Amino acid sequence: MAKAVVLGGGISGLSSAYYALQEGTSSKFAKVVLLEASNRFGGWLHSTKFEDGAVFDYGPRSFRPTYVGSGLNTVELALKLGLRDDIIAVDKRDPSNVRYVYKDKKVHQMPGTILDAIRVVPPLKRRLIWTAYQDTFAAKATEDESVHSFCTRRYGKEIADIMGDAMVHPSITGPMVSMSKPILHYITNWTMWSLKEGCQQLSDTLVKHLTSPQMSAELQLNNKCTKLTFKDGAAVVTSDKGEITTDHVFSSIYARDLAQILPEEHSELAQELKAIPAVSVIVVNLEYPVESPMKGFGHLLPSIEDGPVLGVVYNSCVFPQQDRIQQKGKSSRFTVMLGGAWYDELLERMGGSLNPNGFALFGMKVIAEHLKITEKPSKVDVIIQNDCIPQYFVGHNERVERIFKYIKDNNLPLSLVGSSYKGVSVNDCIYNAKLRVEKFTGPSPYVSPDISKEHFAF
């Protein structure tokens, strides 16, 4: 049976290792070694639980259970990993589903009802029904296009500038794959979900399973792959700690990082990989000793309002289970996301300094201006996430096809997983890892959810 090396211990790499070693497939891998460059697993899945019970997430903070393949698959994985009792889900009737947009120095609810369609709802200046009318006559796109251009074509410039732009501002998109399973019934009323200890609980649990005697994966921290070469149908992985010759490599590292470690003879592949850019995001987590004045998921900002401020997430409204224990008094947690495509502008505004205190003050100012909370925060945490969200510009899909074709045509024992290629959401990362691995192992066994006990923590 074949041996595999996985590059990167984020959610894509851990999922690849998990599916490669799963019992019940027709030909699972005999051995999997995973190399992680840093001193922790999880990649962007990174959470802290404070002594008073409050949870801060520094990367993803929720998963969408969407009724399509990738969303269902993550729920299925969590159930397989025994995380059922740790799932915290948001019911579709919960007020925390309401989304807002910040425009003209005010927070406005995103239009969501039929009534909203026939009246003028701020911040828009004309009725949505006109945009629906316009949509009927919209020209059809012939190739992939930017979200702004899609919104302009379908809904007009005003919607594109405010709604479309606010939605794409953090640039988190993903593919849609239809699938129907009993899990669908299980999650009928969910709109999003997380885990009691934060999203990192998913990667932590994967690590526990992977290192259990059943799976026996070899997971290595502080071991960066520095060179990847191919010889006689095998792959040779050179790392800080030596050399491994293996049957197959699953690379989950950012495309540009992979380009750096490929040999000169595959420079054509490296050039394509290098052309996939990513943006950096500054995450400012804040806890205030007051109740949130807003009920909802959070608000986004169109770039015309304030480029470097991407949006604010009202974490306590969405997952109050992750608030500090009530005996410590009222509290509300918020995340201010800064940077993205406006990272350089942000840096310029900060006088070129990456000082976390400066970003903390910036985040507090945003909360004071947008939500009118002027109290001193009880907790502040800032993290700078470099090149964390790959950007899928027009032509990305064709580029990915060329990259995959190059690997196939050259018979390289290499599979590409991770957020650089076919979706950046956690759901997409896990699902794409599964699809890639199943090309070798055959389909993984399906777990039927136990729907007799309904005790999810809504």
Ligand X SMILES: Cc1cc2nc3c(=O)[nH]c(=O)nc-3n(C[C@H](O)[C@H](O)[C@H](O)COP(=O)(O)OP(=O)(O)OC[C@H]3O[C@@H](n4cnc5c(N)ncnc54)[C@H](O)[C@@H]3O)c2cc1C
Listed residue (257, 300, 295) closest to 277, CA to CA: 257
Q: CA 219, CA 386: separation in Å to the nearest integer?
A: 24
Q: Classify 424 as helix, strand or coil.
A: coil
With residue 168 as reference, give the H or E element that holds it.
helix 165-168
In degrees and rounded to multiples of 5, residue 453 shows phi and psi of: -105, 115
Q: Residue 21 Cβ, how far from ligand X at the closest point, in Å? A: 17
Q: Residue 222 Cβ, how far from ligand X at the closest point, in Å? A: 10
Among 18, 29, 44, 297, binds ligand X (CB under 6 A): 44
Nearer to ligand X, 13 or 69 (CB): 13
Q: Does 385 bind ligand X (CB under 6 A)?
A: yes
Nearer to ligand X, 425 or 441 (CB): 425
Between residue 211 and residue 240, which ones bind ligand X under the rule CB under 6 A? Answer: 224-225
Count of residues in contact with ligand X, rule CB under 6 A = 37
Q: Does 63 bind ligand X (CB under 6 A)?
A: yes
Among 4, 5, 9, 377, binds ligand X (CB under 6 A): 9
Nearer to ligand X, 118 or 221 (CB): 221
Q: Does 96 bind ligand X (CB under 6 A)?
A: no
Q: Does 11 bind ligand X (CB under 6 A)?
A: yes
Q: Specify which residues 102 forms β-bridges with.
A: 107
55-63, 105-113, 293-301, 353-361 -> range binding ligand X (CB under 6 A) = 55-63
Q: CA 397, CA 423: separation in Å to the nearest integer?
A: 10
Nearer to ligand X, 25 or 62 (CB): 62
Q: Does 38 bind ligand X (CB under 6 A)?
A: yes
Among 33, 107, 249, 388, binds ligand X (CB under 6 A): 388
Binding track, positions 244-263, relative to ligand X; x by CB under 6 A = --------xx---x------
Binding track, positions 260-289, relative to ligand X; x by CB under 6 A = ---------------------x-x------
* 379 Cβ neighbours under 8 A, 6+ residues apart: 50, 54, 56, 285, 286, 287
* 153 Cβ neighbours under 8 A, 6+ residues apart: 138, 139, 141, 145
Nearer to ligand X, 101 or 282 (CB): 282
Q: CA 382, CA 363: separation in Å to the nearest integer?
A: 9
11-19, 25-33, 138-146, 344-352 -> range binding ligand X (CB under 6 A) = 11-19
Q: CA 458, CA 89: separation in Å to the nearest integer?
A: 5
Q: Does 59 bind ligand X (CB under 6 A)?
A: yes
Nearer to ligand X, 278 or 294 (CB): 278
Do residues 117 and 132 touch, judged by C-beta distance below 8 A?
Answer: yes
Q: Residue 315 Cβ, how far from ligand X at the closest point, in Å? A: 11
Nearer to ligand X, 161 or 257 (CB): 257
Which DSSP state fits 141?
A: P
Integer angstrom CA distances of residue 121 from 114, 126, 371: 12, 8, 20
Nearer to ligand X, 6 or 215 (CB): 6
Tell the residue number behind the tokens 């969303």, with chain if given: 71
Nearer to ligand X, 252 or 415 (CB): 252
Q: Which long-range contacts (CB under 8 A, 24 or more apart) does 142-150 make?
A: 143/394, 144/394, 144/395, 144/396, 144/397, 144/398, 145/394, 146/393, 146/394, 147/173
Query: What is the CB-side half-sphere exposure of residue 159 using CA atoms within 13 A?
Result: 23
**Could you list the residues that contact ligand X (CB under 6 A)?**
7-13, 35-38, 43-45, 59-63, 172, 224-225, 252-253, 257, 281, 283, 385, 388-389, 418-419, 424-427, 429
